[in-house]
Structure 1
């Protein structure tokens, strides 16, 4: 059923700055659009935090070019933004009340961010908003809760009003082990809902995060309701899944008895079997190193798998000293790995936000952000505290090129750019949109935040526009999103930032 919650349904007010402004409001210059080829369409067609089921981070919507660009902000509890096939915004929200946090989904006016209608999860359920999925062929949203529930909602209009209607609720608590938390849920192209347990660990003892889990449960639910599952001891999933057609790609990291020096993690390709059992298409190991890198969430790979069309799948490992970008064949082969590319500076590299990928002519470009020594998530207290200081994090964003025929892999460019959140590539402009900070001011305890645009082909930071000052504008690892009209949306601690080119641009 559709539910009206306690969440406020009024036009929101702008986000107030929590520190005085002192830096430049705009840096760089406007650029012309550099069109890339359209994005690859994975099956089923869907939209997620990483833009699609293949997690390639690209979008065929335009984005701002730096022409008369303006910033608008809104105090709303929206965290993740998805777009249906008509261009409507459906967002996940987490609203703090006097006694708890309400989680849910909402139809949102993309211009004002006014909430038009919403569905709220039961008060004892913590939704995994980062991994919710909206299918584009039938406008269904699937989202899981840490407590073991999967919810499927239908997006539709009634009396010209958008609504979200709960059509299916699946209880997996009897399938999961007592210590496990449900993490992911995604449809495959046969209508099965795949799920995994796991979580995001604490970066520090004080930071929020999930407990370590010494086993992982993976499975799927048939359209008729039959549940199939498998348990993996001493491994934990710390990222999302990738799906194309009926094959699922996921990566685990060591936990329990497997968590030791020079540990290994596993990369899996799974599908439903001939009798609807879980079939392992292939499985291989990767280096998980001695432990977590400074500032990292993940014990093993910090990368949600990224699919390169229907050819390759990409993750980063957690090797000691210098991590590697690993490129595998999607189909089972005698030699599963295509190539391994050392990335980032030795002793100062970590990836916790996945990768972006796009095919240029005969070459896949893969962009990776360095999160080494990243500051922790906000855990309460002083909104302008040191958790805002990105200057302590490694300043490095790179692009690795992989020939489509598998004949070569190399680092194409390496730029001193800090991005801790999940960025997005526009194929209409050829720009990567991310969120960054004035590092010189941050050293002084002054935190000014910017939306940054990087040239996809060269890595050049072409322009930055200031969004605000202080911890209220910290992205807190929330993802960015592009809307159909070319607006870039970024969730921050106190609401949402919107950046778009001005009229006449």
Structure 2
């Protein structure tokens, strides 16, 4: 998962100055194509969780199933306008409520303080903010928007918060509407990583130390188990099932009547000999994603950390720990790996290569990578489950160099991301690298449009995922704020 920049430094100040000079906001992109996208042949979306905002805009990965899809259209392949909201923060979670207002959970560059922002949907302007007690880097990254448009997050004191936005006297404010302490369920020195509700209204959580639990915010009851394995990614839910990927195995769980997590099955995977460059932990870099051609819940997928290429692993959610397929992905490169959750929809899975991507910060205690660094080549692959549900095949490999976590629109049938050209080493990404709003055809992997956004860390999306609003506006978190991309009017 993405993180905020380390504090200070003359290089960061120089890069920021250069990026502002060369990549001014409010400019219009130059599209590669003006074709009108067709309706999508992909889907279905997973079931709408009754305790989140609308699918596609409720979580970092779109929905509680972490499908990476949205029912909203994107900006399309014609010309776009864009503007940037400078927040001096990395903004990994950007969600959109039923009232149209945009809520972003960001981490400040200086101090690494998790801060909630309310953005104006008409302009992207910052209307209100609320700083939260900080924990680890992973704390304050994953959150979701509930069915009352309240951001649900955990603060550094291990309180589960519901943060609402309210208008008083003509001004917007952000308030903690509800706070539920997690108590001893989260050990001292541990922090919440994943957070999502189930269909009974319980909030499931997982900690970096391997605790998996549920919270009933109505009664305050907390129930948990310990796996003894680290968790570094978010978690996913569909009706009756919760998926958690530790740094050793994929877990499928359900809840006992009192809310205690029950392990239905555990599937160990190949975690490789070491952490790869371009990943933040030793193990899978993917959040589990539910998908399927029936109701969107039949399968669950992750990518392992095998060397030299990660394998896409697809399991039957109602089956057991034996995958229906284990297939190497992104094999067009000598080595590959991913820190990105996949896009998963129908029978198709899309995997992004982050091998060699230079993150500006790592989690505390992250082991050294092997090798210590590598070139960032990018790349995207599509893999389909066969019609019998007994195996998988690679459909295409694309050379697109995605610096963001892509999202698929089921409304217009396009994949949206931010691609990067130019120098992509650690210094290059934050100085002279050029960032582009890019559109990918999911049928072929071809890039159908590209619009220049800007240069340097101001536009670096840090492998974070953009979120589309119902009107087609795309909100992309970056290393220093949020970029608002819309169709040219």
The interval holding the TM-score normalised by the smaller chain is 0.7 to 0.9
CA distance in 2 between counterparts of 1:165 and 1:146 reads: 17
Higher RCO (CA < 8 A, seq sep 6+)? 2
C-alpha distance in 1 between matches for 2:17 and 2:298: 44
1:352 to 314, 339, 350: 339
Closer, same or farther: CA 432–332 of 1 in aligned 2, 3 Å:
same
Matched, 1:459 2:445: yes
Q: Distance in 2 between matches of 1:94 and 1:439?
A: 27
1:289 to 251, 272, 276: 272
Q: Does 1:114 align with 2:114?
A: no
Name the SS of the counterpart of 1:449 in structure 2.
Answer: strand
Which of residues 332, 338, 341 is equivalent to 2:324?
Answer: 338
Q: Which residue of 1 aligns with 2:139?
A: 128
CA change 1:476–1:322 in 2 (3 A) is: closer
* Residue in 2 that maps onto 1:299: 282
Alignment of structure 1 residues 366-405 onto 2, 5 Å: 366-377=349-360, 392-403=375-386, 405=388
Query: Does 1:43 pair with 2:49?
Result: yes
CA distance in 1, matches of 2:44, 2:488: 25
Which residue number corresponds to residue 101 of structure 2?
Answer: 88
The answer to whether the 8 A contact 1:108-1:117 is kept is yes
Match of 2:141, SS state, is helix
Encode CA deviations 1:120-168: one digit per residue, 9 max, x unaligned: 32477978343101123x3332101354232123455567765543232
Is residue 470 of structure 1 aligned with residue 451 of structure 2?
no
- May I ask how many residue pairs the two structures share in their alignment? 443
> Which residue, out of 30, 33, 38, partners 2:37?
33
Partner Cα distance (1:132, 1:462) in 2 = 32
Instruction: Assess if the C-alpha contact under 8 Å between 1:147 and 1:181 holds in 2.
Output: no
Structure-2 change in CA distance of 1:77 and 1:441 (3 Å): closer
Greater Cα shift, 164-173 or 288-297 = 164-173
After superposition, where does 1:105-504 map in structure 2 within 5 Å?
A: 105-122=116-133, 128-136=139-147, 138-155=148-165, 163-198=173-208, 215-222=209-216, 223-233=218-228, 235-253=229-247, 265-308=248-291, 309-333=296-320, 336-345=322-331, 347-359=334-346, 364-377=347-360, 392-403=375-386, 405-439=388-422, 446-503=432-489
Aligned to 2:369: none
2:64 matched residue in structure 1 = 53
Instruction: Specify every segment of 5 or more residues in structure 1 that has no aligned partner in the other structure, as ranges.
Output: 1-13, 199-214, 254-264, 380-389
- Bigger Rg, structure 1 or 2: 1
CA distance in 2: counterparts of 1:175 and 1:154, whole angstroms: 25
Equivalent residues of 1:316, 1:326 under 8 A apart? yes
Higher alpha-carbon deviation: 219-228 or 68-77: 68-77
Are the structure 2 counterparts of residues 452 and 15 from structure 1 closer, same or farther at C-alpha, using a change threshold of 3 Å? Answer: farther
Q: Hey, what does 1:3 align to over in structure 2? A: none
TM-score, with length taken from structure 2 = 0.82
* Contact 2:30/2:451, CA 8 A, preserved across alignment: yes
Distance 1:155 1:27, change over 3 A: closer
Counterpart for residue 19 of structure 2: 17
| TM-score with structure 1 setting the length | 0.80
Show the counterpart of 1:62. 73
SS at match of 2:123: coil
Which structure shows the higher strand fraction? 1
1:422 deviates by: 1.7
Assess, with a 3 A threshold, how the Cα gap between structure 1 residues 347 and 288 changes in structure 2: closer, same or farther: farther
Give yes or no for contact 1:349–1:394 (8 Å, CA) kept in 2. no
Structure 1 CA distance, aligned partners of 2:237 and 2:169? 35
Counterpart Cα distance in 2 of 1:378 and 1:284: 30
